[in-house]
């Protein structure tokens, strides 16, 4: 579903991402992790066509993002950490606008179903300013899922959500994966990735440190089989700034 | 105050002075460091040159020069003092009656977070606030003095004006704080704003009646000779304002204003004592007021931060306005071209004034009024005035309207990580984003043209146009409007895509000399690019103009043919601009301008 090959992004003499290659299949949820400045955001932006890569190719559902960006973008959805909504469009008008941009067939039925699933059916006529943070996030999700994307990118999806919103978001991601979407999830919350992800991709200083299923990565980097993703992360990135938790005994 | 308390005030006060000094030093250092980049250096030099030519080139800060005649003390100056005192007194009375603000000192959110929970005495916080406001006041006083020094009739010199401005601004600032403290105190003792207003209005009515009664007894009503000319009227009113008890009422404000209006050094020194005494009195009033300002200050800091964020997002009125659902300008089907969807969204945001039906009603109303005026010979003068106003307004909208584009593009930039994922070609997004400003400005211009057409047709006999020529002229200009507006919005869009960091400074208020220089460079570039776009069209259009003129000899027909040709060429140029900007949009990499997070 997502094939990235030799992706490199340079800003002048600084290389943010260097020769990154990976592939994600349908139904997989891949956690994109790394310390600050590792190149996660740049990778996400390159994969969604927001910024052009310096070198390398990105294929979304088999379509090259550089040669046919319109068709490739029809297959993807990107959810930034902050929902970007139009202050004077109601919930329903947001969906109409997005449907027009993506050319969604059977729009009305699809929109009604989505709103019902997201428990927003009674909020069709509200403006974003009248919605809670969680509801805004749900509206952004409804807009993103309207055209039934096959590849989905989440950037820090739990920012600002309450416990109910967090649970709902996690359920949504699992459901989408079950329905056959390929998901990339960028987050610093390693516990979230451990709960939701089937695979993990660890970056450090723009380079890939590890890539594979959670079990594979754990086997490769952890000394104990039941090590947490947090232990795996610090071992993989070689970050010794955090002292190990000492046994009080 | 105990010695321990004084020591504590001194140490915490020093910390706050250190904070302010470091903030200023770092801000200046950051601006100086920025000058290493050629674009900031160039813009700063241009801003400095502008200031030099505006304020310093023809006048020095010392005054009009040693040989220049000293401005005499004249009646105009005296009336100036009195009138300024009347305005100032009126403003102060108004604020006491109608201001609803509580005792809030203006702090930033960071200052609230760090200082309000620190072991710092309230009095130290007030001093810190006063120190901060002094920096702003000193800067304003210097700037105002540069401006007022150019008004030769005032007399005095730049330094005297600067001190005069400083005393005036400082006293007003202190009075505003002291008044808010007093209102808070009144609230604490149970005098709510409604009762306070009633009390003050009653007092004002009483004082006003007493003044009126006294004036009726002491000052004779104006005779015909007193109203014979401007000088006679000035003399009469000066007599009223300087007679007791009006002069007693205005005295505090006059004392504050006198240093500014002093014609020479001796008068300035004489005026300084009473003014400084009032200033010191206000300072003591503020310092000795024991009221809790923390809660209201916290709320004020939050509101200011919100307004700042809103401005960053391009909403100049801030977020205080509650949002209401707005009517759709037209029903949008979920299938079809993308550009109308952008227009639909933008028209909803533009508000009810630009709903097509409302705009139709407004236009019909305006044109009906114009037609009625045209049918009344008695109102010919009104038509002349309307015509004289509509023309410059039309030009202004044409020039300033496309600047709206900067706000639209800035908003688009803020959501670029979502907009860029839309499955659209670059030209579709560019056309979509440009469509709303083009439609809105064209609608306004067409209405103004219709107004001009009615006025010109009615006044045709008087100004030398025929009904046919003015009608055709308006239609010809109307044809030109959409492509010209399109090209101008295209220039704004292009500037944002090619110079994004420059445009962020251009589109925001303030920013110092470099931002001012950037705005000037942008305005200059705007004119040059527009001329480059219009010139080829005008040259090519000369051909059909000359042919029609040669064949028919009709000036009107030739102008119409020329206008149609210009319009077609400009539409072609507009299409090329959209295509070119679309390519630029597709390759646009905002992260190359703004370092990645």
Element (H, E) at A186: strand A182-186
Q: Cα separation of A29 and A185, whole Å?
A: 7
CA-based R_g, chain A, Å: 19
Distance of CA A189 to the CA centre of its chain: 13
- pLDDT-derived band at B461 (thresholds 50, 70, 90) equals low
pLDDT at position B464 is 55
CB neighbour list of residue B589: distance below 8 Å, 6 or more residues apart: A51, A52
Classify the C-alpha dihedral A58-A64-A67-A71 as positive or negative.
Answer: negative
Residue from B281, B258, B253 nearest B269 by CA: B258
B370 and B275 share one domain: no
Which residue(s) pair with A64 in the sheet? Answer: A59
Token match 């038509």: residue? B383
Question: Taking chain A, what is the end-to-end CA distance rounded to the nearest angstrom?
Answer: 49
A57 and A128 share one domain: no
pLDDT at position B365 is 93
Report angle CA B52, B529, B429 to the nearest 5 degrees: 120
Tell me whether strands A207-213 and A199-204 are parallel, antiparallel or unpaired: antiparallel
- The reply to whether residue A104 touches residue B338, judged by beta carbons under 8 angstroms, is no
3-class secondary structure, A4: strand
Task: Looking at the complex, report in whole angstroms how far the Cα of residue B324 sits from the nearest Cα belonging to chain A.
Answer: 8
Identity of the highest mean pLDDT range in B67-76, B152-161, B327-336: B327-336
Tell me the CB-side half-sphere exposure of residue B501, using CA atoms within 13 A: 13
Residues of chain A falling short of pLDDT 70: 239-249
- pLDDT-derived band at B505 (thresholds 50, 70, 90) equals very low
Is A69 part of any domain? yes
Q: In chain B, what residues touch A146 (CB-CB under 8 Å)?
A: none
Q: Cα separation of B312 and B306, whole Å?
A: 10
Identity of the highest mean pLDDT range in B25-39, B143-157, B272-286: B272-286
Q: Cα separation of A175 and B223, whole Å?
A: 91
- pLDDT-derived band at B597 (thresholds 50, 70, 90) equals very low
B251 and B358 share one domain: no
By Cβ distance, the residue of A45, A87, A103 closest to B335 is A103
Residue B77 Cα distances to B59, B68, B155, B260, angstroms: 21, 19, 9, 11
Chain segment B208-222, per-residue pLDDT in tens = 888 888 877 777 777
B194 Cβ under 8 Å from any chain A Cβ = no
Is A225 part of any domain? yes
Is A243 part of any domain? no
A212 Cβ under 8 Å from any chain B Cβ = no
Q: pLDDT higher for B87 or B515?
A: B87
A57 and A108 share one domain: no
Is A242 part of any domain? no
- pLDDT-derived band at B276 (thresholds 50, 70, 90) equals very high
Residue B561 Cα distances to B468, B471, B546, B565, angstroms: 15, 14, 9, 6
pLDDT at position A151 is 93
pLDDT at position B509 is 47
Asked if B515 contacts B505 with a C-beta cutoff of 8 angstroms, the reply is: yes
Is A201 part of any domain? yes
| Count of other CB atoms within 10 angstroms of residue B310 | 16
Q: Cα separation of B302 and B296, whole Å?
A: 10
Q: In chain B, what residues touch A73 (CB-CB under 8 Å)?
A: 421-423
Residue from B348, A203, B156, B276 nearest B356 by CA: B348
**Burial annotation B217-239 (CB, 10 A radius, 16+ → b, else e):** eeeeeeeeeeeeeeeeebebbbe
Angle between helices A133-145 and A107-117 (to 10 degrees): 150
Q: Which domain holds residue B400?
A: 339-593
A150 Cβ under 8 Å from any chain B Cβ = no
pLDDT at position B144 is 81
Q: Cα separation of B255 and B236, whole Å?
A: 22
**Domain stop point among B269, B293, B312:** B312
What is the rounded average pLDDT of the residues B534-549? Answer: 86
**Domain stop point among A101, A127, A148:** A148
Where is average pLDDT lowest: A174-188, B297-311, B345-359, B503-517? B503-517
- The reply to whether residue B417 touches residue A80, judged by beta carbons under 8 angstroms, is yes
Distance of CA B157 to the CA centre of its chain: 29
Chain segment B335-349, per-residue pLDDT in tens = 888 999 999 998 888
Q: In chain A, what residues touch B339 (CB-CB under 8 Å)?
A: none
Which residue(s) pair with A204 in the sheet? Answer: A207
The mean of the pLDDT values for chain B is: 78
Q: Cα separation of A181 and B566, whole Å?
A: 53
Percent of chain B with pLDDT over 70: 81
A12 and A62 share one domain: yes
A123 and A213 share one domain: no
Tell me the CB-side half-sphere exposure of residue B228, using CA atoms within 13 A: 6
**Domains held by chain B: number:** 2
Residue B114 Cα distances to B106, B295, B392, B445, angstroms: 14, 15, 52, 52
Is A205 part of any domain? yes
Angle between helices B75-98 and B246-261 (to 10 degrees): 120
Global pTM? Answer: 0.69
- pLDDT-derived band at B378 (thresholds 50, 70, 90) equals confident
What is the rounded average pLDDT of the residues B81-105? Answer: 75
- The reply to whether residue B591 touches residue A51, judged by beta carbons under 8 angstroms, is yes
B240 and B108 share one domain: yes
pLDDT at position B591 is 67
- The reply to whether residue A102 touches residue B418, judged by beta carbons under 8 angstroms, is no
Distance of CA B43 to the CA centre of its chain: 22
Tell me the CB-side half-sphere exposure of residue B539, using CA atoms within 13 A: 6
3-class secondary structure, B501: helix
Q: pLDDT higher for B555 or B7?
A: B555
**Domain stop point among A122, A148, A174:** A148
Is B56 part of any domain? no
Is A248 part of any domain? no
How many CB pairs lie under 8 A apart between chains A and B?
Answer: 100
Is B27 part of any domain? no
**Residue B57 pLDDT greater than 90, yes or no:** no
Q: Which domain holds residue A43?
A: 2-75+149-237
**Domain stop point among A124, A148, A172:** A148
Is A110 part of any domain? yes
B352 and B256 share one domain: no
**Domains held by chain A: number:** 2
CA-based R_g, chain B, Å: 31
A57 and A105 share one domain: no
A45 and A11 share one domain: yes
A103 and A210 share one domain: no
- pLDDT-derived band at B66 (thresholds 50, 70, 90) equals very low
3-class secondary structure, B537: helix
- pLDDT-derived band at B73 (thresholds 50, 70, 90) equals very low
- The reply to whether residue B423 touches residue A90, judged by beta carbons under 8 angstroms, is no
A6 and A124 share one domain: no
pLDDT at position A5 is 93
A10 and A60 share one domain: yes
Q: Cα separation of B102 and B86, whole Å?
A: 26
**Residue B468 pLDDT greater than 90, yes or no:** no
Q: Cα separation of A129 and B323, whole Å?
A: 7
pLDDT at position B512 is 65
**Residue B555 pLDDT greater than 80, yes or no:** no
A26 and A128 share one domain: no
pLDDT at position B133 is 87
Q: In chain A, what residues touch B323 (CB-CB under 8 Å)?
A: 87-88, 127, 129-130
**Residue B455 pLDDT greater than 80, yes or no:** yes
B447 and B393 share one domain: yes
By Cβ distance, the residue of B326, B334, B421 closest to A76 is B421
**Residue B438 pLDDT greater than 60, yes or no:** yes
pLDDT at position B589 is 78
B177 and B269 share one domain: yes
Chain segment B471-481, per-residue pLDDT in tens = 777 788 888 88
pLDDT at position B70 is 46
- pLDDT-derived band at B382 (thresholds 50, 70, 90) equals confident
Q: In chain B, what residues touch A112 (CB-CB under 8 Å)?
A: none
Q: Which two tokens stand for residue A196?
A: 């939701």
- The reply to whether residue B421 touches residue A52, judged by beta carbons under 8 angstroms, is no
B490 and B563 share one domain: yes
A70 and A161 share one domain: yes
């Amino acid at each position: 579903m997502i094939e990235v090959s030799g992706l490199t992004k340079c800003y002048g003499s600084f290389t943010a991402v260097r020769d990154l290659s990976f592939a994600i299949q349908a139904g997989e949820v891949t956690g994109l992790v790394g310390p600050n400045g590792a190149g996660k955001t740049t990778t996400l932006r390159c994969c969604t066509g927001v910024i052009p890569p310096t070198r390398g190719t990105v294929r979304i559902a088999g379509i090259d993002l550089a040669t046919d960006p319109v068709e490739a973008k029809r297959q993807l959805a990107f959810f930034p950490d902050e929902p970007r909504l139009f202050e004077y469009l109601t919930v329903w008008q947001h969906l109409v606008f997005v449907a027009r941009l993506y050319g969604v067939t059977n729009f009305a039925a699809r929109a009604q179903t989505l709103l019902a699933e997201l428990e927003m059916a009674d909020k069709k006529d509200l403006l974003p300013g009248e919605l809670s943070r969680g509801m805004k996030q749900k509206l952004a999700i409804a807009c993103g899922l309207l055209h039934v994307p096959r590849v989905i990118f989440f950037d820090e999806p739990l920012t600002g959500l309450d416990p109910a919103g967090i649970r709902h978001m996690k359920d949504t991601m699992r459901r989408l994966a079950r329905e056959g979407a390929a998901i990339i999830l960028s987050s610093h919350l390693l516990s979230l990735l451990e709960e939701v992800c089937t695979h993990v991709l660890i970056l450090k200083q723009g380079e890939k440190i590890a890539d594979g299923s959670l079990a594979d990565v754990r086997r490769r980097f952890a000394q104990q089989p039941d090590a947490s993703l947090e232990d795996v992360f610090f071992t993989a990135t070689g970050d010794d700034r955090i002292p190990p938790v000492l046994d009080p005994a | 105050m105990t010695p321990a308390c004084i020591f504590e005030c001194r140490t915490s006060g020093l910390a706050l002075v250190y904070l302010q000094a470091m903030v200023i030093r770092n801000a200046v250092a950051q601006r100086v460091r920025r000058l290493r980049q050629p674009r900031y250096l160039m813009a700063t030099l241009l801003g400095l040159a502008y200031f030099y030519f505006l304020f310093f080139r023809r006048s020095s800060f010392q005054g009009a020069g040693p040989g220049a005649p000293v401005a005499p003390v004249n009646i105009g100056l005296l009336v100036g003092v009195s009138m300024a005192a009347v305005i100032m007194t009126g403003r102060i009375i108004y604020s006491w009656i109608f201001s609803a603000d509580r005792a809030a000192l203006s702090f930033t959110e960071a200052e609230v977070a760090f200082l309000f929970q620190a072991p710092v005495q309230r009095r130290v916080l007030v001093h810190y606030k006063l120190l901060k406001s002094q920096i702003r006041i000193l800067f304003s006083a210097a700037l105002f003095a540069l401006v007022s020094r150019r008004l030769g009739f005032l007399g005095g010199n730049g330094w005297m004006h600067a001190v005069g401005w400083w005393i005036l601004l400082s006293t007003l600032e202190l009075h505003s704080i002291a008044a808010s403290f007093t209102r808070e105190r009144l609230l604490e003792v149970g005098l709510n704003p409604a009762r306070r207003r009633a009390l003050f209005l009653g007092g004002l009515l009483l004082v006003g009646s007493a003044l009126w009664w006294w004036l009726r007894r002491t000052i004779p009503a104006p005779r015909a000779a007193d109203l014979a000319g401007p000088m006679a009227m000035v003399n009469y009113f000066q007599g009223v304002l300087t007679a007791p008890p009006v002069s007693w009422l205005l005295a505090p404000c006059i004392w504050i204003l006198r240093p500014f209006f002093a014609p020479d050094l001796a008068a300035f020194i004489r005026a300084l004592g009473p003014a400084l005494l009032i200033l010191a009195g206000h300072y003591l009033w503020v310092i000795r007021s024991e009221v809790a300002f923390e809660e209201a200050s916290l709320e004020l800091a939050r509101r200011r931060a919100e307004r700042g964020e809103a401005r960053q997002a391009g909403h100049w009125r801030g977020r205080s306005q509650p949002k209401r659902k707005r009517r759709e300008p037209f029903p949008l089907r979920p299938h079809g071209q993308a550009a109308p969807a952008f227009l639909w969204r933008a028209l909803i945001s533009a508000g009810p004034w630009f709903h097509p039906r409302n705009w139709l009603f407004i236009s019909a109303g305006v044109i009906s009024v114009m037609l009625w005026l045209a049918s009344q010979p008695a109102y010919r003068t009104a038509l002349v005035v309307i015509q004289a106003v509509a023309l410059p307004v039309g030009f202004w909208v044409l020039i300033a309207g496309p600047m709206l584009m900067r706000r639209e593009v800035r908003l688009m930039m803020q959501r670029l990580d979502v907009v860029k994922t839309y499955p659209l070609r670059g030209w579709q997004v560019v056309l979509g984003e440009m469509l709303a400003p083009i439609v809105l400005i064209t609608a306004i211009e067409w209405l103004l043209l219709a107004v001009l057409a009615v006025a010109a047709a009615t006044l045709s006999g008087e100004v030398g146009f025929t009904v046919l020529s003015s009608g055709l002229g308006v239609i010809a200009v109307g044809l030109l409007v959409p492509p010209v507006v399109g090209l101008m919005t295209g220039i704004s869009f292009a500037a944002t895509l090619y110079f994004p960091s420059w445009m962020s400074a251009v589109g925001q208020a303030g920013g110092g000399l470099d931002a001012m220089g950037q705005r000037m460079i942008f305005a200059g570039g705007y004119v040059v690019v527009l001329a480059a776009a219009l010139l080829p069209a005008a040259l090519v259009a000369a051909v059909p103009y000359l042919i029609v003129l040669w064949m028919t000899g009709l000036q009107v027909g030739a102008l119409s043919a020329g206008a149609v040709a210009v319009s077609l060429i400009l539409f072609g140029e507009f299409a090329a601009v959209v295509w070119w900007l679309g390519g630029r949009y597709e390759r646009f990499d905002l992260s190359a301008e703004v370092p990645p997070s």
